Amino acid sequence: MRVVFLGAPGVGKGTQAERVAAQYRLAKISTGDLLREAVRNQTTLGVEAKNFMDQGQLVPDSVVVGLVRNKLSDPSCANGFFLDGFPRTVTQAEELGKVLQSKSTALDLVVNFHVSREDVVRRLSGRRSCPKCQATFHVDFAKPKVDEVCDRCGDQLVQRSDDRRDAIETRLKVYDEQTAPLVRYYDERRLLSSVDGSGSVDVVFQHLLNVLTPYQVR
Ligand code: AMP
């Protein structure tokens, strides 16, 4: 099962990718997570990516495609994968197609999550994450037991620099301009399915499983 998760920032792609990858025991590749790890480790790539990320802009295609190409060569991806947050431009989609073709494989499905713009802004601006273990919480919808403290490891929660209002606006604009065209791109290739991402994590997960079930036994 080779699946791409598409949708604006804040639609819950990452949360669902995490759950579904565990359910099917397949790899989850999140370019946002890979880039944040590079930033934390202050690698050359991380230093290059940081400014783009802080401002809510996309990291250059060549950087991100290189990251994904490496990951897809990993044996953990041999049986399939869920791609979260990649591709985000038509160029990235074309490059992904080439990488998979060189391995004599192709995508099975692209799941497009949709949530109202108002909900997306609420989800992103209230999101808090743990800088130590990367667990995520929300000030209204997934409160930690103790305010601003990670349930899992006890570290102080922080707001991601790109979850601040001005960066959120930029990310949504970038999504509309550069990523939304992928909905049509994949629809034309008959790969697109839609999932309503507006319910609870459990409800959305059920919708997602319904969409994925026909691909399960391939
Ligand atoms: P995410 O966690 O998916 O919201 O990604 C956080 C940030 O990482 C984005 O706002 C971009 O700056 C960068 N990023 C993640 N994935 C990509 C991608 N496929 N192309 C370019 N930049 C990306």
Residue 137 in domain: yes
When pLDDT is cut at 50, 70 and 90, the band that residue 174 belongs to is: very high
Interatomic CA distance for residues 104 and 190, integer angstroms: 19
**Residues flanking ligand 1, CB < 6 Å:** 9, 31-32, 35, 52-53, 56-59, 64, 85-86, 88, 92, 162, 171
Residue 84 in domain: yes
pLDDT digit string, tens, across residues 118-158: 999 999 999 999 989 988 899 998 899 999 999 999 999 99
Verify whether residue 164 is a known catalytic residue. Answer: no
Neighbours of 202 (CB within 10 A): 8
Residue 198 in domain: yes
Residue 47 in domain: no
C-beta of residue 120 within 8 angstroms of C-beta of residue 114: no
Residue 91 in domain: yes
**Portion of the chain with pLDDT greater than 70, in percent:** 99
Q: Whose CA is nearest to atom 1 of ligand 1?
A: 32
Domain of 139, in residue numbers = 2-26+79-215
Q: Whose CA is nearest to atom 10 of ligand 1?
A: 56
Distances (CA, A) of 173 to 55, 57, 165: 12, 9, 13
Using the mean position of ligand 1's atoms as its centre, give its distance from the Cα of residue 218 in Å.
30
Q: Which residues pair with 193 in a beta bridge?
A: 111
Residue 192 in domain: yes
Residue 126 in domain: yes
Structure tokens at 194: 């839609």
State pTM to two decimals.
0.91
pLDDT digit string, tens, across residues 37-91: 999 999 999 999 999 999 899 999 999 999 999 999 999 999 999 999 999 999 9
Q: How many domains, in total, are found in the chain?
A: 1
Q: Residue 159 belongs to a domain with what CATH number?
A: 3.40.50.300
Of 2, 13, 19, 128, the active-site residue reads 13
| Span 19-24, average pLDDT | 94
